[in-house]
Chains A and B, each alone.
Chain A
């Protein structure tokens, strides 16, 4: 049953990575302007 141990650890690492990325994006202000981000993609930056 040691395979469970490996799978558990791997899945937790994946999960923790996802959580870390989310917290990072939150800190870098990517959730500050949800409406703007949705619209900005439609316009060229010049």
Chain B
């Protein structure tokens, strides 16, 4: 300890730093020390050593991102068996290698600069470029495939977390749609601008009575408009045409059907008018309509693309490799799908188990919270059953696989989810519901107009068709098609900036209908980390916390957290699954289980509510630390706020009745169920849905995930199991529950705005349709009416923002 102090003191003298903030990661540091941990000190030295110290002057730390604190380096037997990156490396024909990684912890532009500069100093690196929007690093190098480990380690030493990115196909498809939309938008914009210019000339010529536009000039201008508009419509209209065709093929209609039909009919009619030297053409309206609609569609795509990119990143953050122990004693890393029953698997400390199996060798603790929802680590020994998805907290284990891939309990849960999602009735979006009634009405109206003019008034076919087309143009749902996406983009963006990720485009509307909220207990209403409940001796706590700071065991982390900021003690040895030991001249200081600390088993076992740790020091009385589950800090407020909103609240947990009862009592929840299996949870949710409840399920464990899928809409904290986050419609960050309330409120306001928008655009139609039927709508009137109604709808959607920006960590009180 003494040596490290002098080293760090010298660093402090060289670079005076702020009070007690770590000079590298910006988190709180022990008083008088420049760094919070040795990892940060090393990162700082590395950066200064490369002459990149400017990073610290230029960066702006973003409190919403993970702090750039390097993870403690894993030592021990599994140290060499690092993640196998080779599976993700792509070999290029020219002999170079490429790897794409998701970067966790990017704070600002300086981080991008730092990573790229560090990579530029590596001799073999040919590509090292960070995409800040998608938070991905593209890495290319010459040499061997194994260099990947070195390069990745280099960046991870700076405090970023890198995960090989394997959702290649998905993101490529996503990128293609985005680009196609942008290209269509560009073409439509070009055409709309030019045709509109020409149209203004035509209108000016028609209005100017004294010196009217010549017939030849009019024909020329119409022909030029047609030449610009028709190819542009053929190209830029494709997103709508394909979607409309797909809907029609399934015997349904959506908003794209009237759009496509209107655009095509109007273009065709205008072409006929141009050929017959007619007076009016509507090329400008058709192209402008496509332009407006494409803007809405592209914005929608961006908002959802961003949400999806984050979801993909979450997905890739789970380990995928399995270390298979071969008969000759060597270890081979394989993908989970390549493991056979009966294979022996080596599971390192901190590794998530990839198979269901039976322990052959080793004693350890397992974090089974993902599978059972139990927050306390379970101890296992040879003969115990382990499940895929559980986390090995203790020593290295050898497990014989009994179920792999599709047959594991984890896969079973995934199947339950799929079944629940299939059963969930198809939710019809409000826009489509309107479109179903709207489209036939519009088409009927247009047809009747044509028949009325042609048969009843005896007008010529051309004129009758033109009037009918003008009805289609003014009813063309420009405002209607913008009404819902505009609100969605704004509301999703607001929630996204507030740390809430809406993953499904329909989630907003489903959230607005919720009348029942079902909570899980463990990790949802309670803090994911256990809290220290009983402290007998403050000095002992500080010593224990200094030792615990070196370990990643959940109990160690709570202990270190409870003591505030402490410097990690040097020379602590971790005995996996048992405890920590620190050798001093007087003898060992031990922190760990009762037996590890050399104490006899308790003769009269007390019914404790939680786990315990013991601290023994030479010549001193042993000290006991107990831990308990604690409610999230704003759980009570959140529950009260939800009740004020008139929602039914329910608690369904897989945990023991006693623990669930105490939480329910603390929160004043009368309606609770304990000891529910995943299947029972689904049954309860579906029974509620049958009784007409609109359920929002909030849960985090793998055991909740089928219930999340079964509910009308679901939310998960970002600390939840990967599977749950994948299933949930809403993922919220931070230690608070307030986002649930904020999301519900935003959704309700958004739905109100959607309904207002739809009413506005239908009201506009009520005024314009009679005019069009009467044949009074000229092209300039149609263009003006269309633009103004679109602007009106956009303006009304923007009012949503007036409710104030949602900041991360807002509490429910700060909103009216």
Chain A interface (Cβ within 8 Å of chain B)? Answer: 1, 4-5, 8, 11-12, 15-16, 18-19, 22-23, 26, 31-36, 38-40, 42-43, 46
Grouping DSSP codes into helix (H, G, I), strand (E, B) and loop, the A interface class, with mixed when no group exceeds half, is helix
Q: How far is the CA of A43 from the CA of B52 in the complex (A)?
A: 12
Question: Does B132 sit within 8 A of A, measured CB to CB?
Answer: yes
Contact between chains at B186 and A22 (CB < 8 Å): yes
6 more A-B contacts (CB under 8 A) besides A19-B186, A32-B133, A38-B109? Answer: A12-B228, A34-B133, A36-B109, A36-B112, A36-B130, A40-B113
CB distance from A25 to the nearest CB of B (A): 10
A27 to B182, CA, bound (A): 11
Q: Is the CB of A26 within 8 A of B109?
A: no
| Interface pair A36/B131, CB less than 8 Å apart | yes
Evaluate contact between A32 and B58: CB separation under 8 angstroms: no
Measured between beta carbons, the chain A residues less than 8 angstroms from B194 are 11-12, 15
Complex interface: chain A residues within 8 A of B117 (CB): 46
- Interface contact tally, CB-CB below 8 A: 62
Whether, in the assembled complex, B179 has its beta carbon less than 8 Å from a beta carbon of chain A, the answer is yes
Cα–Cα distance between A31 and B187 once the two chains are bound (Å) = 16
Asked whether A23 lies within 8 Å of B112 as measured between CB atoms, the reply is no
Interface of B is mostly: helix
- Taken together as a complex, chains A and B put the C-alpha atoms of A27 and B221 apart, in Å, by 33
C-beta contact mask, B195-239 vs A, less than 8 Å → 1, else 0? Answer: 001100100000000000010010011001000100000000000
Residue on B with the closest CB to A46? B117
Query: Out of A1, A19, A39, A46, which one reaches B108, CB within 8 Å?
Result: A39
Q: Cα distance A36–B183 when bound, in Å?
A: 21
Given the complex of chains A and B, what is the CA–CA distance between A16 and B109 in angstroms? Answer: 35
B120, A36: Cβ atoms under 8 Å?
no
Interface size class of B (residues with CB under 8 A): 20 to 34
B595 located at the interface, meaning its Cβ lies under 8 Å from any Cβ of chain A in the complex = no
The reply to whether A15 and B193 form a contact with Cβ atoms under 8 Å apart is yes
**Nearest A residue to B197 by beta-carbon distance?**
A11
Q: Which residue of A lies closest to B108 (CB)?
A: A39
Query: Is B315 part of the contact surface with A, judged by Cβ < 8 Å?
Result: no
A22–B193 Cα distance when bound, in Å, is 15
List 5 A-B pairs, Cβ < 8 Å. Answer: A1-B214, A5-B220, A8-B224, A19-B186, A22-B186
Nearest CB of chain A from residue B205's CB, rounded to whole Å: 11
CB of A43 within 8 A of CB of B182, answer: no
Which residues in B have their C-beta under 8 angstroms from that of A43? 58, 109-110, 112-113
Given the complex of chains A and B, what is the CA–CA distance between A12 and B228 in angstroms? 9
A15 to chain B, nearest CB (A): 5
A31 to B198, CA, bound (A): 31
Q: Which residues of A contact B193 (CB under 8 A)?
A: 15
Least CB distance, A33 to chain B, in whole angstroms: 4
Query: Contact at A40–B109, with CB atoms within 8 Å?
Result: yes
Q: A4 to B217: give the CA distance in the assembly, Å.
A: 9
- Give the residue name and chain of the A residue nearest to B179 (CB): A26
Select which of B58, B112, B190 is within 8 A of A18 by beta carbon. B190
- Interface pairs A-B: 6 shortest CB-CB: A39-B109, A36-B132, A43-B113, A35-B132, A19-B190, A33-B131
